[in-house]
Structure 1
Amino acid sequence: MSVEIAVTEDLATCQALRRTVFIEEQNVPEADEVDGRDAGAVHLLARVDGRAVGTARLLVSGDSGKIGRVCVLAEMRGKGIGARLIEAAVREFAANPAIGKVKLSAQINALSFYERLGFTAEGDEYLDAGIVHRDMFRTL
């Protein structure tokens, strides 16, 4: 299995992956998924043997990077692709000396996944798109 993760301009493919995972699989309302922030973001695309299977969106706010819209197709989960997406996102932010920390909003069932990648949960649980989340941070 050949996995490639890279910055992409192929926004349509990233959005199609997010539609499959968030809107169709997790029943996130389209109005919550499509937030108008894609044009100002950097997008990562994960491909396995040339097939698009996952994505993540990177935004910058001041001295913080935010990883969001992380998804991997159901049949490709458990193969390390999500971890590789997060590691690639952290590397992208670390390349910018103005960014000192990375934030993400984790679904509660994914907290241990992000903890293994160096993130620490902070604050209370909250609902986002009808799914319980918690903020997580990693210092660069």
Structure 2
Amino acid sequence: MTVKIVGNQQELEDAFSVRRTVFIEEQNVPAEEEIDHHEKEAAHFILYHGGLPIGAGRFRVVDGYGKVERICVVKEARKTGAGKEIMKAVENYACENGIHKLKLNAQTHAIPFYAGLGYEVVSEEFLDAGIPHKTMVKKM
């Protein structure tokens, strides 16, 4: 498995393809909410395995925090360590850019995954795109 910071149009299309598969097709998130006005300001990540895109995520700086967003892995590649690979790349990118406080909005079913990476819940449950979430933070 190889995680790359998106550096060209094909890699960006691959990241969007994974996000469409997971969020729009699988979780029924409206397309206009999934691909949003923050895409141009974000650093995008794509995870490949055997030349195929299997995971993605993005990162922005918001209010002094590194905001980890859109972390996803295609169904066939879950429980393989793919999500941890993406998160490791995002966290390394944040540190290399002087960001040591991270924040994310985790779907409630994914809270144990993020907690295992050192994130702590700091909010009550809320709905985002009709899906229950909680905000989590990590200081590195």
TM-score bracket relative to the smaller structure: over 0.9
Q: Could you tell me which amino acid in structure 2 is paired with residue 66 of structure 1? A: K
1:12 CA displacement: 1.3
1:102 match: 102
1:63 CA displacement: 2.4
Equivalent pair of 1:55/1:72 in contact (CA under 8 Å): yes
Unmatched 5+ residue regions in structure 1? none
1:11 CA displacement: 1.4
2:128 match: 128
Q: 1:7-22 maps to which residues of 2 (within 5 A)? A: 7-9=5-7, 10-22=11-23
Runs of 4+ in 1 over 4 A off after TM superposition: none
Q: 1:46-85 maps to which residues of 2 (within 5 A)? A: 46-85=47-86
CA distance, structure 1, for counterparts of residue 96 and residue 70 of structure 2: 21
What SS class does the counterpart of residue 123 from structure 1 fall into?
Answer: coil
CA distance, structure 1, for counterparts of residue 47 and residue 17 of structure 2: 13
TM-score (norm 1): 0.94
1:4 CA displacement: 0.4
What SS class does the counterpart of residue 88 from structure 1 fall into?
Answer: helix
Equivalent pair of 1:60/1:66 in contact (CA under 8 Å): yes
CA distance, structure 1, for counterparts of residue 94 and residue 63 of structure 2: 12
CA distance, structure 1, for counterparts of residue 100 and residue 53 of structure 2: 30
Deviations 1:24-48 (A, max 9, x none): 0000111211211111111111001
Backbone CA RMSD of aligned residues: 1.0
1:115 CA displacement: 0.3
1:112 match: 112
1:100 CA displacement: 2.8
CA distance, structure 2, for counterparts of residue 58 and residue 81 of structure 1: 17
1:61 CA displacement: 2.0
Aligned residues: 137
1:32 match: 33
- Give the fraction of aligned pairs with identical amino acids, expressed as a percent: 37
CA distance, structure 1, for counterparts of residue 35 and residue 43 of structure 2: 15
1:62 CA displacement: 4.2
CA distance, structure 2, for counterparts of residue 45 and residue 34 of structure 1: 15
CA distance, structure 2, for counterparts of residue 48 and residue 12 of structure 1: 16
Of Structure 1 and Structure 2, the greater strand share is in 1
